Structure 1
Amino acid sequence: MDIVERFLSYTKINTTTDREKGAAGIMPSSSGQMVLAKQLEQELLSFGLEDVQVNEKAIVTATLPANVDVHTPTVAFFAHLDTSAEQKADTNAKIATHSSDSICLNEELGIHLTEKAFPELAQYRGQEILVTDGTSLLGADDKAAIASIMDMLQYFTANPDVPHGPVKVAFLPDEEQGLRGAKAFDVESFGADFGYTLDCCGIGEFVCENWNAGNAVVTFTGQSAHPMSAKGKLKNSLLMAHKFIAMLPAGEAPEYTENREGYYWVKELSGNSAKTILKLDIRDFCLEGYNKRMAFLGRLAQQMNDLYGGVEIELSDRYENVANSLQGSNRYPIDIAQQAYQDCDIEMRQIPMRGGYDGAVLSQKGLPCPNLFTGAHNFHSIYEYLPVNSLRAASEVVQKIVLITHNKFSQ
């Protein structure tokens, strides 16, 4: 099956993550993820892979055994099954040739993908582009990754004379709400030595650093009173929360920062005069900076509690910067990827990911795991698009990594 046909077949399965069910601890949070998992299981079996499994959480794993006697490390590739909850409609994907300054997604609704709005689109003039009808996500995040990995497996199983070491693959649920599939994944029993996720970004991009990420939940307990007799009695927890927010560093919020600049994100505020709960995300690429941010919030909550009483804070870590796990002797996955990009005549552009991805969790669990491009743009948007050439290039890079791993360690 051609990689484009394969990708389109995956987009026909609605795997939108369900935040409510996810918050309730249900995994997979949507039934479509299990449907896709079962389809992948059958495709993996048809390739003749070994140890093909789908568990009750829709985690899919399989092994392409080595076809050589020389021992080499086991490389793994990961993608996620779910698509973001920003749009829940079924995907109606199509191929369009980008021949002018825009692509009409939906003539009836007047929806166009334009170079004016998305200047990077201009570099794909004359190419075939996978798009939607403007009413849903494309789902290239992360079905382009699944298609690339499956295309790689199809190549090696159809060409048994090409020498390679052991390869493992895994497809994980509910990445789009807190990397839940990766957190549930058993790295030790999986048995890989290093791996790569494919999740995000245009052709050539490569991620080997991302946030150190944490959460803060601040609870303000006030004292309710009827306003006609509130003087000296009412302690308004909503105003306490607003004073806390006002003392956060000005300008250190997502809307004011870029590149490697960290931030505090006031994410949710709910309550009434008696009790208010404030939720924040804390992000910093530097571990020292992250620890300072967490300590600052702890001190701020303590100082407010000393002044007003009734202030409690709960701080927790979400995931680490993958760069922490790719140092020294664990740097080789980066070196192999650099060689693969070069062999495919693709300029590598290392970018700091201002977000999290499954590889950060997997790396923290002991499996070094940087991130490869899928070739897609505008994730989580109705303007998501995927150049066909970029999709094919992603698969070629994955194939090269398998070959380079064999050549590098079998000599």
Structure 2
Amino acid sequence: MNITDRFLNYTRINTTTNRGKGAAGIMPSSDGQMELAQLLAQELENLGMQDIVLRETAILTATLPSNIPVELLPNDTTIPTVAFFAHLDTSAEQTNDTHAQIVHYHGGDICLNHDLNIILKESEHPELCNYVGDDILVTDGTCLLGADDKAAIAAIMHTLQELKANPDILHGTVKVAFLPDEEQGLRGAKAFDVESFGADFGYTLDCCGIGEFVHENWNAGNAVVTFTGQSAHPMSAKGKLKNSLLMAHQFISMLPAGEAPQYTEGREGYYWVKEMAGNSAKTVLKLDIRDFTQQGYRDRMVFLQNLANSCATLWGESAISIQLDDRYENVANSLEGEARFPIDIAKEAYTRNNIEMKAIPMRGGYDGAVLSQKGLPCPNLFTGAHNFHSIYEYLPVKSLQAASSVVTEIIKITCERHIQ
């Protein structure tokens, strides 16, 4: 099976994450994720993979054993085990089935849907100019393409297919894992048992255009602030009514001006007022806290705690409570010093494929951040797709092929560095 057909086959299974079921603790949150995992498990078996385990959570793992002759390993040297990860679910922005199509791009705009007049405009997506003359996978304008993250699944599976078809390519032990519900809090990665998996380092494929590479992202946390007021009938409210909604608004007004997602970029951190619900008697406010540096992240959490303490002094201790929780760390914290080698291997793999590495700070989370925090260093490779979470999502076929080629080279380089 060629890589394009493989990808298209995966997109025919609707794996939209279900936020309602996810919030209720159900994993996988959608039946399609298990359906896709079952298909992959069968394909892995057909490819001769070993130790295939599909759990009831839809977490799927498998192993490609080393094929290196013992005589090539000096002094009983062992080859580090490398792993590759992709997630099964697609984002909840669109819940429709995927209707993917292939267009040969000649330049200019792409009409995704004639009946609905949905156009992928070159003026709004100028990077399209890089793909003139190429085949591009697009949606019909009514759905997500699902390249986030089925392009990653296709790239990984294609590499395994190539390695099995070409046994002359020497490789150490390779492990793969496909995880559910990344799109709602990295739930699959959080449930993943790194220790029993047995890999030494790994890579997620969950990034964007060809050449992009992520080895730093947010230190992330969240805050839940509860404001408790005193209700009263408005005709007798004077001196009695304590409006929790107004307390919440006042709390928000005391957050640093300009440090919100809509005002920041690059490595600038923020406080994101994400959700507020309640009435005059009780209001619950939810915030996301993000910063690239550990010290900056700690400072932000301390600031929120101090702000809550100050408000308690102003309104009374029973009027406000705050709960602060860590969500995930910057993957860069796990890729320092001697642990940097996965970055170096990836850089060489890009170079061998004549791809310029474009290291970018990810203003978001991905499974590798959680896996790295658990002790498995795990930077993030490109899949080649653009416009994740959008009906304008598209995937150049050559970029998808390049993603698989980079995975193959990483496996080869890992082997070459340890054999005679």
Q: TM-score, normalised by structure 1?
A: 0.99
Name the structure 2 match of 1:213: 220
Residue 233 (structure 1) aligns with: 240
Q: Indicate the residue corresponding to 2:259 in structure 1.
A: 252
5 Å-filtered alignment, 1:159-238, equals: 159-238=166-245
Q: Distance in 2 between matches of 1:128 and 1:365?
A: 39
Query: Quick one: distance in 1 between partners of 2:101 and 2:138?
Result: 6
Aligned to 2:9: 9
Matched residue type, 2:372: S
1:53 matched residue in structure 2? 53
Task: Work out which of the residue numbers 139, 156, 168 in structure 1 matches 2:146.
Answer: 139
1:336 is aligned to: 345
- Contact persistence 2:207–2:213 (CA under 8 A): no
State the partner residue of 1:382.
391
Q: Which runs of 5+ in 2 are unaligned?
A: none
1:356 alignment partner in structure 2: 365
Corresponding letter in the other structure for 2:332 = A
Partner AA of 1:347 in structure 2: E
Task: Name the % identity.
Answer: 72
Deviations 1:209-258 (A, max 9, x none): 00000000000000000000000000000000000000000100000000
Deviation string, structure 1 residues 102-131 (Cα, Å, up to 9, x no partner): 111000000011111111111111111000
Give the Cα–Cα distance (whole angstroms) in 2 for the partners of residues 315 and 122 of structure 1: 45
Name the amino acid aligned to 2:105.
Answer: H
Following the alignment from structure 1 to structure 2, what is the Cα–Cα distance between the partners of residues 116 and 98? 15
**Partners of 2:63 and 2:173 within 8 A in 1:** yes
**Per-residue CA distance 1:254-278 (angstroms, 9 max, x = gap):** 0000000000000000000000000
Letter aligned with residue 214 of structure 1: G
Cα deviation for residue 200 of structure 1 reads: 1.6
Structure 1: which 5+ residue stretches go unaligned? none
In the alignment, the residues of structure 1 paired with residue 38 and residue 151 of structure 2 have an alpha-carbon distance, to the nearest angstrom, of 18
Q: Secondary structure at the match of 1:376?
A: coil
* Structure 1 residues 362-373: aligned runs within 5 Å: 362-373=371-382
Which letter does structure 2 place at the counterpart of 1:27? M
Say whether 1:402 aligns with 2:416: no
321, 329, 332: which is aligned to 1:320? 329
Task: Provide the rounded CA distance (Å) in 2 between the counterparts of 1:222 and 1:98.
Answer: 60
Judge conservation of contact 2:107–2:128 (CA < 8 Å) in 1: no
Q: Is the 8 A contact 2:145 2:394 kept in 1?
A: yes
Q: Per the alignment, in what secondary structure is the counterpart of residue 219 of structure 1?
A: strand
Partner of 1:28: 28
Shift of 1:100: 2.5
Shift of 1:294: 0.4
CA deviation after TM superposition for structure 1 residue 410, in Å: 2.0
Q: Deviations over 1:276-314 (max 9, x none)?
A: 000000000011000000000000001001101210000
Distance 2:376 2:327 in 1: 17
Cα distance in 2, alignment partners of residues 120 and 250 from structure 1: 33
CA distance in 2, matches of 1:279, 1:72: 46
Q: CA RMSD in A?
A: 0.5
**How far is the alpha carbon of 1:161 from its aligned partner?**
1.8
Checking the alignment, whether the CA contact within 8 Å between 2:261 and 2:270 is kept in structure 1 is yes
Q: TM-score, normalised by structure 2?
A: 0.97
**Equivalent pairs, count:** 411
Preserved CA contact (<8 Å) 1:200 1:379: no
Distance 1:124 1:161 in 2: 33
